[in-house]
Copies of this chain bind each other. A is one copy, B any other.
Amino acid sequence: MDATALISKLADTARIAARTLSVATGAERSAALLSIADAIDIRSSEILIANEKDMSRGRAAELNPSLLDRLLLTPARVAGIAEGARQVAALEDPLGKTLRQSVLPNGIELQQITVPFGVIGMVYEARPNVTIDAAVILLMSGNAALLRGSSNAADSNLILVTVMRDALATTSISPEVIQLVPSDDRDTVKALLHARGKVDLVIPRGSASLIRMVVDESTVPTIETGAGVCHVFIDEFADLSIALPIIINSKVQRPSVCNAAETLLVHKNIADEFLPVAMAALNEAGVILHCDAASLALANSIPASLATEDNWSTEYGTLEMNVAVVDSVDAASDHIAKYGTQHTEAIVTDNKANAARFIALSDCAAVMVNTSTRFTDGEQMGFGAEIGISNQKLHARGPMGLEAMTTTTWIVTGNGQIRS
């Protein structure tokens, strides 16, 4: 069977099976997730044995250490994955929520409620935990899942999907709601991305290049999760005692992720006082500095170089940071509009009008006021589970939990009204 026919078959099977999710109650979906969590615990050793096969292939292929670390499952990590499924099972049911309700003059009752998408495809890299994390979020939100992971994690993914399907077989939900898309062939990704009408939504999760490939190639609607060139702006009215920890946390705590900051903007009125201290602290933390002329002049003995035009729009993912002096809130916003990626922007200020203006002029998924960019995160925001961070404006923006995996329908109830 060619890839297109295979994906078509998997999607059709998943869609029919998804009806068992459509008519299941939230309690039934929760119970199914708990069955999955228990099965993961009970079959932990099987999972670890399969993962070791992936690991030895990976070591033989000399995959890089960080990729191997993401691929690795340990008893503690497997227990953590099961615990994650239990946490999702404990969340509020996202389906059937009434978002809007009214009675029209003609007596018709109007209700907008949340419903599942139907069939959602996940395209991701060699992280076996995503296989479970994504599947349980999709099941809890009533969606069937087509999981296309990496061939590097093929054995891990196969056992994890088998464990989940075996667990579902003991519930009212069809095991066919979870479909593992073979990863031995790149054609299956392409076919998944072109299964318009068969697959309702594709979510890529992984590197910038994977996400770009999915968004460019897909004719199925996608949610772009993505790059973050995030800024921290220290206003002239900032409390400087909180400004420095916020900058360091935003840049240094985990530089590889999308909500880490890449550029520090400082108001000219406090630059002379604050920048030498801030740049010294960043240097001390191992951060390489790329400065505009004004901030470079304040670097003194701190190692720093003049930023190139490219630096301002680069998502380093490493301990490097751009620094610039700006004249005003508006100038900071201008810089951000020119170089930012509409992910997360932070202002440190005690002036409420300046905070409000920065918010109004920022076009991004999250604006931080007097706190770190690192808080743009589903777990930190209390969502309980996160399937990714949307970097687009349609449907969902910022961290996406269960609710983002639902769409809506209008229920229009009458007693024979017709339109005149």
- Chain A interface residues (CB < 8 Å from chain B): 15, 19, 22-23, 102, 104, 108, 110, 115, 117-118, 200-201, 216, 219, 221, 223, 239, 241-242, 245-246, 248-249, 253, 337, 357, 359-372, 374-376, 380-382, 392-395, 397-399, 407-419
Contacts and interface: CB of A to CB of B under 8 A. Distances in A.
Given A249-B419, A374-B418, A375-B108, A410 B381 contact: yes
Contacts of A110: 381-382
B392 A221 contact: yes
A407 B411 contact: no
A395 B395 contact: yes
Contact of A104 (B380, B395, B415): B380
Contact of A419 (B201, B359, B374, B417): B374
Contacts of A200: 393
A412 B23 CA distance: 37
Nearest to A103: B382
A221 B393 contact: yes
Contacts of A242: 415-416
Contacts of A366: 409-412
Copies in the complex: 2
Nearest to A398: B410
A413 B104 contact: no
Given A23-B360, A393-B221, A367 B412 contact: yes
Given A221-B392, A371-B416, A374-B419, 16 more contacts: A104-B380, A117-B393, A221-B393, A241-B416, A245-B416, A366-B410, A366-B412, A367-B410, A369-B413, A370-B413, A370-B414, A381-B410, A394-B394, A394-B407, A397-B409, A398-B410
A253 B420 CA distance: 8
Contact of A253 (B359, B412, B419): B419
A361 B22 contact: yes
Shortest Cβ-Cβ A-B pairs, 10 listed:
A371-B414, A242-B416, A249-B418, A393-B407, A374-B419, A366-B410, A395-B395, A394-B395, A369-B413, A371-B417
21 contacts: A22-B361, A23-B360, A110-B382, A221-B392, A241-B416, A242-B416, A362-B409, A365-B410, A366-B409, A366-B410, A367-B409, A370-B415, A370-B416, A371-B412, A371-B416, A372-B418, A375-B412, A375-B417, A376-B410, A394-B394, A398-B408
Contact of A360 (B22, B364, B372, B413): B22
A403 B31 CA distance: 36
B407 A397 contact: yes
